[in-house]
Amino acid sequence: MKTIGLIGGMSWESSTHYYEIINRTVARELGGHHSAQCLMYSVDFQPVVECQQAGRWEEAGEVLADAARRLEGAGADYIVICTNTMHKVAGQVENAVNIPLLHIAEVTADALLAAGIKKVGLTGTKYTMKEEFYKERLIRRGIEVVVPDETVMDRLNAIIFDELCLGEIKDTSRRYFVEEIEKLAAQGCTGVILGCTEIGMLVKQADTKTPLFDTTELHARATAMLAVRY
């Protein structure tokens, strides 16, 4: 089994789900008392959030690059960034180490194409929805990406940072998210990406008929399968 190197803590709420899904997947695949052979470097999220808000992405990237170097030094065979937004600095992390990085958008694209999805709605933080670092990976794979308008982006972003990252689950926020998911479906999207690792804490497939692609589930399962297959 390969040793997984997890960069977590962004937020720690979603990192716990990564750990659980990875271990459940390994146990299902290998049986018995098997669990994942993994290392996690959990960063302090507050300085990272401050860097995001101030646009100091290179500084934030160095926090993750340092974590990646530590994981490589401890014996990790590959790196996993347990958040969508911070894949904005994925290149900086990759350049800091000599082991591969399993990119969340590539894993998501694989799942979309396997499901026959060619036009998808994207929800997440405003950085993920508005900027190109995530969308371009999907577009490059032939997938059309639709995002909400800027007012909606701001509201979704606030729900993520002011509620979900702090462990707060509100029915009003769930209803708002589902309404926006349905609006994306009405624009011809045949699936919607839950493109922030905390959204799956709030919205489930049972809440909507529109097919959902939870990036936490997809990324964590792919992480586990890479460990057990090679």
Q: Write out the catalytic residue numbers.
A: 83, 196
What are the E-state strand segments in 147-217? 191-194, 212-214
Q: Give the residue among 14, 15, 6 at the shortest CA–CA distance from 200.
A: 14
Residue 94 CA: distances (Å) to CA of 1, 59, 97, 165: 22, 15, 6, 26
Q: In whole angstroms, give the CA distance from residue 47 to residue 56.
A: 10
Residue 173 and residue 163 in contact, taking contact as beta carbons nearer than 8 Å: yes
